[in-house]
Structure 1
């Protein structure tokens, strides 16, 4: 039977951490070359490595509040994926949704930093990339925590697939706006489809700036569709303990994807983060951090 757990920790304010200036964070930046490309990363703590993988329209800064919490127990590393700030970016570059490419970058990053095995915490399209990484490099994973990956290939064959996908129909208009260079309209449209109505307006000024800084990889998505498909057979190759998390208020599409992953992954647990929409690290960071840290302590 699938293991489900519920956490009901109160929302924890992290506004002070979220508003850390870029100049303060920039002093901590390190860089590593992988596959002919340079990735920026930050790290805190010592010991067993935990690598954090951000979602779309984000970068290493999305994990600012989480790194100190994990650094008390682990060597916590957050990096910016290919074609995301402050790395070299271009609308003609690697798409955000190129989960196979980003997954191989994660493997190369771990190797470049001298790690034979890592724990991974990943969000949204970064979680999709982490699934590709774990399926292709199962021996490199100690344990894996993925929050709401848009692994739409998992919905293939479902009789109600078309109905499920209607929930994300608005992404087409967002892609067209971004493809045309209208980022002021396209970014809020994208965020509101993925996070629910009003999600963009609820974001802090720092997060809105981060979204703007990372628009190139999503513009590349609008140009270079379709993207690779993650399948049930691939999920079966991931033998490491895997925590699947979804948010109480997120679009149901993510819940349907996790339902299928839950059926296919051989070693998994699942948790729903209460009073939260898609970006759980902002909406209910305390509950999310507690869930992941407790899972890692068990595995």
Structure 2
């Protein structure tokens, strides 16, 4: 079961930036390159974390998923900074941070959650509205469980907490299918040092179009390829994820919003459903016209849902 959880987590982490299906959504993705903002850095034990810090008001902190970086929140920065202080960070080993690695590097969700807690404390933000997508959602969830005083409200965008699906009949066979069709051939490409082929396999496999990577905007392809370091660690088979079950959320009292895409993969939708059942003070919203790339496939709808939730909490 541990291996199947790994395979399910891996495939969804690798596609945190699902591309769009029509011209309007493609234009939304293209805004990733629209603005160049001043990057700041924060040092954690000699390692420099890059982040954007704009606006004034209560802090809203955005945590990206795997194979992406702070730029994935471009469609949120202006909209949220009108009323809030926006911090969009690049997690350890994400662009433009140092990606030097060794066998001793720790890529785990728990390690990233520790980073996140240290960042919130070093910036002296007080309780924040914490928004985490995919791997960044798992990171945000673990950080909140470990240090709830740092978080005022929690917004989770399809975190791959695959342990929630272990005993769910509806999830049977999903992980093996993804592993055989996508994960194994892409891992083979990584092993052959063909990063572009590996990323193309993951994107094409999940989107059901082997040419999808080639047809995607250049800036989007460039962002994927600039963030493969963490993915190599995930593809190595290392145990990176926290195993969380329903009882682990019994003490979580923080207001939590879960968002799932209308067209997102079944496993991610099921995980959001299960988390909603287990987190007492939670709401679940479905974002129309979106898959796993929630925040940029339907930015207007996404921003409306999240801003309304933050305003009420």
Scaled to the shorter chain, the TM-score interval is 0.7 to 0.9
| Deviation (angstroms), 1:276 | 1.1
Over 3 Å counting, the alpha-carbon distance change for 1:41 and 1:195 in structure 2 is: farther
The two structures, once aligned, show a CA RMSD in angstroms of: 2.1
The answer on 1:207 being equivalent to 2:214 is no
1:6 alignment partner in structure 2:
none
- What TM-score, normalized to structure 2? 0.84
| Deviation (angstroms), 1:95 | 6.5
Over 3 Å counting, the alpha-carbon distance change for 1:191 and 1:56 in structure 2 is: farther
- 1:13-92 to 2 correspondences below 5 Å: 13-14=27-28, 17-20=31-34, 24-25=36-37, 28-90=38-100, 92=102
| Deviation (angstroms), 1:196 | 5.3
C-alpha contact (below 8 Å) 2:273/2:284 kept by paired residues: no
Q: Describe the superposition over 1:267-296 as per-residue Cα deviations: whole angstroms up to 9, x where unpaired.
A: 110111111111012211111111111111
1:137 alignment partner in structure 2:
147
2:250 alignment partner in structure 1:
236
C-alpha contact (below 8 Å) 2:30/2:219 kept by paired residues: no
Q: Which moved more, 1:127-136 or 1:185-194?
A: 185-194
| Deviation (angstroms), 1:88 | 0.8
Over 3 Å counting, the alpha-carbon distance change for 1:66 and 1:183 in structure 2 is: same
* Unaligned residue ranges in structure 1 (runs of 5+): 1-10
- What TM-score, normalized to structure 1? 0.87
C-alpha contact (below 8 Å) 2:29/2:297 kept by paired residues: no
C-alpha contact (below 8 Å) 1:167/1:251 kept by paired residues: no
C-alpha contact (below 8 Å) 2:156/2:258 kept by paired residues: yes
| Deviation (angstroms), 1:230 | 2.7
1:248 alignment partner in structure 2:
262
Over 3 Å counting, the alpha-carbon distance change for 1:19 and 1:230 in structure 2 is: same
The answer on 1:172 being equivalent to 2:184 is yes
The answer on 1:287 being equivalent to 2:287 is no
C-alpha contact (below 8 Å) 2:50/2:89 kept by paired residues: yes
* Unaligned residue ranges in structure 2 (runs of 5+): 1-23
Q: Which moved more, 1:249-258 or 1:11-20?
A: 11-20
| Deviation (angstroms), 1:202 | 5.7
| Deviation (angstroms), 1:231 | 2.6
The answer on 1:278 being equivalent to 2:298 is no
Q: 1:158 aligns with which of 168, 176, 182?
A: 168
- Aligned residue pairs: how many? 284
Distance in 2 between residues matched to 1:256 and 1:84, nearest whole Å: 28
Q: Describe the superposition over 1:48-102 as per-residue Cα deviations: whole angstroms up to 9, x where unpaired.
A: 1111001111000111121111001110000000111111114547576x21111
C-alpha contact (below 8 Å) 2:163/2:245 kept by paired residues: yes
